[in-house]
Chains A and B, each alone.
Chain A
Amino acid sequence: MSHVDSLLREPLILGKDKTYGQITEDIVRNTEGTPPRDWKIAFGFALAGLLLYVIAVSWTIFKGIGVWGLQKTVNWAWDITNFVWWVGIGHAGTLISAVLLLFKQKWRTGINRAAEAMTIFAVICAGQFPLIHMGRIWQGFFIFPYANTRGPLWVNFNSPLLWDVFAISTYFTVSCLFWYSGLMPDFGTIRDKAKTAKRKNIYNILSFGWRGTAVQWSRFESLSLVLAGLSTPLVLSVHTIVSFDFATSVIPGWHTTIFPPYFVAGAIFSGFAMVQTLMLITRKVQKLEDYITIAHIESMNKVIVLTGSIVGIAYITELFIAWYSGYLYEQYAFYNRAFGDYWWAYWSMMTCNVLSPQLFWFKKFRRSVFVSFIMSIFVNVGMWFERFVIIVTSLHHDFLVSSWNYFSPTWVDISIFIGSLGLFFTCFLLFTRTFPVIAIAEVKAIFSSISEAAQEKHKNQSH
């Protein structure tokens, strides 16, 4: 039924002797047996990070936001930087699973499951920050427009923070649904391979009793399309709304109409970098090089160089517009970014986000696992700095010179950030041991057309 791809196209599943059974075996293997030593060490670090997170957050809630480095002039810094950074990272998963599905990009099947998982865990991490940055987290429910006896007292629909609440919760819900519905056939596969009754039961429940009938497959496909259709606008809208937190304000450096596209590009950029980081490790540790191939890495690197360049243009546009505006506050804000107290953050951002990804114009670098890994870390760092630069350098020197100030983080700020990485990796590592990290059913769907085995077979037939 499926058409046969050109022989010239690079295969997406390597291994000449691959069979459907072998694919199942390769992927499900990682959820069976005891975890390897590397995994245990990594998990230990992640749990330690999570513990640090719990301690730092508890201290913040007990003592007050004052334990952070924030002050009267800079009222947001690492908290919202982390928030935007994590939300941005989430975007790649949605883009891969929804937009690439609609565009029929088959290479996405190798990475979409892990990328979607990353999205969910990143959004979980991101969602922490709007909560813990509140002075009174115990009153946090005020941000929901719920029926109340207070007058009625309503939320402020003018506030971008409220839009965030809706954007993030919608995003999280849709991402979860999409991810989970995709998992159901694979859970069925794991169940069918399970050797103990307990395991069988658990995966049976997780798979919602998936039987693999034609009706189910048909509905599965339809649901995938519907959810992809729902998710696609979210790729654009969520980070657009996040950017409104800044764009709708009056602070020079925030009050910028370029923010929505600039933020979306940045989000995809950082998200792909994070997917790259995770996939490069996963394929190695879980021996999935046959499924996450150099071709996948190269494709992602192409996205990175594209979005990185878009972000670079945005940076330069900002500078140009600031100069062109003729408005002294605007002109100062951007001058201050590049040459002010936080020049190092700005130039770190520029180097990591704009300059270094240009290496990927060269095929050699695009296909180098080592360069790809280093670059993915660079981009992650650079994108964190981007948010830091936007938030802190705009605030610390705003309109009234009398209030100018300098922000330095405290141990709590740093611990919460490192701790959020702990939270993320705890989730992700658990995921790699319990869930199939590659969408088995979807990979099998392209096996007969674009795997090395299929090409081999086709070659043999034509001869």
Chain B
Amino acid sequence: MQEKKYWQSFAELEPNNSLPTDHKEFGDDLPVLEGILEPITDNDTNRRDFLKTLGFTVGAATIAAGCSIPEKKSIPYVNRPEEIAPGIASYYSSVYAQGGDYVSILVKNRDGRPIKIEGNPDSKVTKGGTTALAQASIITLYDSNRHQNPKKAGKDSDWKTVDSEIAAKLSQINASGGKIAIVSSTINSPSTNAVIAQFKAKYSNAIHVTHDAMSYSGLIEATEKSFGTKTLPNYNFANADVILSIGADFLATWLSPIEYSKDYILRRKVSKESTNMSKHIHVESVPSASSATADEKFVVSASEEARFVGDLYSALTSGTSSTIPGVNAVKNALLQAKDAGKSILVVNGTNDKNAQILTYAVNSFLGAIGNTVSVGSAVNYKKGTKVELDAFNADLSAGSIKAVLFLDSNPVYSMSNGDKLAEQIKKLDLSISFSDRIDETSSVCQYICPTNHYLESWNDYEPKQGIYSIGQPVISPLFNTRQAQQSLMIWSGATGTYYDVIRGTAASYNNSGEYANFDGFWSYTIMKGESGNSTISGSNAFNASAVSESIAKLQSDYPKSKFEIKFYQTVHGDGSSADNPFIQELPDPVSRMTWGNYFIANPADVKEMGADDILNEKRYAILNVKINGKTVSLPVVSVAGVAPGTLGMKFGFGRTKTSNAEYQYGANAYQFSSNDSNIATKVEVSNSGEYDKLASVQSYFTLNHKGLGGEKTRDLIKETTLAEYKANPEAGNTILGKGRKEWIEHHLVTLYPKHESLGHKWGMVIDLNSCVGCGACVVACNIENNVPVVGKNEVHRSHDMHWLRIDRYHTGDVNNPDVTFQPMLCQHCDNAPCENVCPVSATNHSSEGINQMAYNRCIGTRYCANNCPYKVRRFNWFDYQGADAWGSGNDEDPLNRTDSVARMVLNPDVVTRSRGVIEKCSFCTQKIQASKLEAKKESRELRDGDIQTACQSACPTNAIVFGDVNNKNTKAFASSEDERAFGVIEEIYTKPNVTYLTKVRNRDLKKTV
């Protein structure tokens, strides 16, 4: 009987067909191995062979057994938890909230561990964007330097002891009439507020003081004065045709940068169909990320920046002329826009109440109130006010406060009177810090009751009135910590858990009637991360009564002086993340420095002081600066675009109590700035004659260089104006002075064979018009791809490892240059110069157009890195990750990243690189692979947008588009074919798969260089 035959191809069905059926999947055997590979059964095995084999096997086994195999800890699941499939990532919504900053996030969990933070696209506030701080916050979870137990007088204790002692003391203090103060940063969690209310109910003398390191007190008080409501306003950048920012870095640091960026960028993306671009005018004393994207920029000194809005108001309303540069020009532009019926928005970065009142007055005059600026519903990002804080300080000095509890707050560091505060805390009857790690305040407190990391905790948030979100834990507490809210509940004598409180609070938000029951609402909110809608209601009636007083006050408060200091914030945050190495190693968008702060100053001023840097050694002259009587010594860095006479000093550095001395570089700016202004005018500056090294990643060079043929400009950045773009979409897109498309057609030839990509071909398009330089992508890339942080010394030696960097270029006048950011990563060239020089083919081209690295094939000749025209390849100079086979004796790990807890954050899909190999951007190949598998499982083709590289998903302005450029229907293909698209140094014919879109500034004429 004939056997039933199963066949899978016609070739098998027809045995005569020439197709071989025994096709070897893995290529042919090497010819040299012929004869050796004959099946063993063909040989006659006799007794002697048997004995020989036996002898060899026993001998080999003995030797092998004699060598110890390193012990690896791995415990298999006995009962596999639900939802966890080894190797499959799951995403949970949660919320990153630090001192009122709100980012709705999705947390990627692998095998029970959160390993990456992504923006939550369903969020109505942050719309899927993230910040560098939010991205990096995952690192603080896996920090073995967190407090692992409650502490009493600096020593480990247990919760039972601590609880009973604290409860007894609180009762005693309360009974004796002493005040109990809870000092916190802004709390926008309704449940936490409920818990505090509960605490206040139990202890009648308890008060709650809000202290924000970066205070918005001036704005809140101005709103109260002008509109009668004590809150922050809502800004609508999407509606604004003309935006004037006076020192407000609203795209990177100011108030709610993701929200503003998302709105702002809607009007900044230019295409042939949509040229309705907003006009952004920026006035500032020190350059910021936001001003880089501005269309017109005016540089004024720090005191002028403070007075600017007053002069502008006078100019607008009564036509007074001003001595401050730019006021008249801005006035004309605004009046013109007003007459044309355009929507205008004015924002002011100052924390001065009077200036903010005048900003409202200007907005009111221009018809912005109720249109682009609205007041009425609570915006809860920041709540701290100076009045409240002054009262607390007075009480503390008077001795009426006997106990203080510090919740998510570190005022010894972040108050200008921090030193005095520390002394006062030491004298208190009871001082408790909830800090989960070492900081300045907790180290003077009697008790430390470490709270959980936010990824270990339940919490809820109401960032804006009407929007309710729940932060869910994604991992059990790693250490013996307890959520602060739970501690407060226990001390208040409440029963139940904080989770129950949240459930209770949530019920009050389920009032839309959309959900059948509470559980439906709860599940929906947790799944989506957020529910509800932001509603703007209430009065927008501007009360101008305080305006004239404010003008006078502003004039007298900020006299112009020879040297002025502007304290400013960058993407590194307010200092609470200073012990996060990924934040410290993130370069400043403009100065391109990492690790610590310094003064930035106008190059001419630096020269005049004789404080020039020794650029080749990255050593910078140290200035002794006396600010309001206190002296600080910091190196000075020349930065184009700093106003003459102004020095800039960053907040958030110079911490004194951290787990590692590496986090303490720089000086604390808070001690010099009082809370109502970030400007100091009583300043004396002298050059110390000494130098200090700083870890810069990009030196100061322009794009114009003298060569043998005279001075020429490198067209790495291509830029045009809106007017020119409207006339010719290819405007500014030139190669060596000729139109790009024409030039390419005529000039490019190669000897190398073309890489055929028949299936997918991955490409990325980066819109230079959208990039605001915030650095979220850089941190996202670091964490997604296990990129090591190397510390200040190594960055100083230019051993930084970032796969993605944001190059900053200047053009034009040194005092007021145009700044352009250019995210630079592996360009995945089709004619990659790195590929043909590698002697061992460790770097090669995939069939999908990716320039890929085989780390274990790399022998580290670094030839590829030399030959890379974009200098994006990074060599592992040392064993940063404990990944080589030499043990821990030769690690270079000043930040303790090889610690077993710190390593838990590593992405298991990306190998850690040992020393001696090159690494670089892989286009997040692991994510491509994961999405492909997903599509395969669902038997469908990949959809455009299925694959989001880490940088792309982190970007708050959607500047990065990634996709299959072989598919004509993708966004990436369309963008890469746009008239604005160009590759960097295309004329050397590297054929990069990363293209950039020209920068378009909304100005009438191109500024001449």
Contacts and interface: CB of A to CB of B under 8 A. Distances in A.
Contacts of B886: 62
A285 interface: no
Nearest to A160: B837
Contacts of B917: 135-136
Interface string A42-76: 00000000000000000000111110011111011
B709 A64 contact: no
B616 A401 contact: no
Contacts of B713: 328
A413 to B, nearest CB: 13
B840 A64 contact: no
B712 A328 contact: yes
Contact of A332 (B705, B736, B837): B705
Nearest to B27: A151
B533 interface: no
A249 interface: yes
Interface in A134-183: 134-137, 139-140, 142-143, 147-148, 151-156, 158-162, 165
A94 to B, nearest CB: 25
A148 B857 CA distance: 13
B618 to A, nearest CB: 8
Contacts of A159: 836-839, 863
A395 to B, nearest CB: 6
B579 interface: no
A336 to B, nearest CB: 8
A398 interface: yes
B837 A249 contact: yes
A401 B838 contact: no
A326 interface: yes
Given A64-B915, A401-B716, A75 B858 contact: no
Nearest to A334: B708
B755 interface: no
A75 B834 CA distance: 13
Interface of B is mostly: loop
B856 to A, nearest CB: 8
Given A64-B892, A159-B839, A401 B867 contact: no
B57 interface: no
A331 B716 CA distance: 16
Interface stretch (B401-409, B632-640, B984-992): B984-992
A250 B916 contact: no
Nearest to B705: A332
A133 interface: yes
Given A158-B836, A405-B699, A143 B871 contact: no
Interface stretch (B154-162, B384-392, B723-731, B800-808): B800-808
A72 B712 contact: no
Contacts of B858: 135-136
A216 to B, nearest CB: 39
A42 B708 CA distance: 47
Given A154-B841, A323-B708, A406-B615, A395 B866 contact: yes
A322 interface: yes
B185 to A, nearest CB: 36
Interface string B862-878: 11011101110011111
Interface in B615-657: 615-617
A359 interface: no
B985 A66 contact: no
B869 A400 contact: yes
Contact of A402 (B26, B809, B863, B867): B809
Contacts of A333: 707
Contacts of A161: 837-839, 861, 863
Interface string A15-58: 00000000000000000000000000000000000000000000
A158 B32 CA distance: 24
Contacts of A408: 616-617
Interface residues of A, number: 67
Interface in A327-344: 327-336, 341
Interface in B14-62: 26-27, 30, 32-33
A143 B840 contact: yes
B798 interface: yes
A153 B699 contact: no
A126 to B, nearest CB: 15
B532 interface: no
A220 interface: no
A399 B798 CA distance: 17
A253 B702 CA distance: 20
B112 interface: no
A66 B615 CA distance: 21
A135 B876 contact: yes
B940 interface: no
A319 interface: yes
A248 interface: yes
Max chain B Cβ within 10 angstroms of own Cβ: one of A148, A158, A245, A395:
A158
Given A136-B858, A155-B840, A401-B703, A322 B833 contact: no
Nearest to B703: A401
B837 A135 contact: no
B799 interface: yes
A28 B367 CA distance: 105
Interface of B: 26-27, 30, 32-33, 615-617, 698-699, 701-703, 705-709, 712-714, 716, 736, 794, 797-800, 805, 807-809, 822, 824, 833, 836-841, 857-863, 865-867, 869-871, 874-879, 886, 890, 892, 914-918, 984-985, 988, 990
Q: Identify the 4 closest CB pairs spanning chains A and B, nearest first.
A: A135-B860, A135-B916, A66-B877, A331-B707
Interface of A: 62-66, 69-73, 75-76, 130, 133-137, 139-140, 142-143, 147-148, 151-156, 158-162, 165, 245, 248-251, 319, 322-323, 326-336, 341, 395, 398-406, 408
Given A65-B862, A248-B837, A328-B714, 5 more contacts: A134-B860, A158-B836, A331-B707, A335-B708, A399-B869
13 contacts: A72-B871, A75-B862, A75-B863, A130-B861, A133-B861, A135-B859, A135-B875, A158-B836, A159-B837, A250-B990, A332-B712, A335-B708, A398-B869
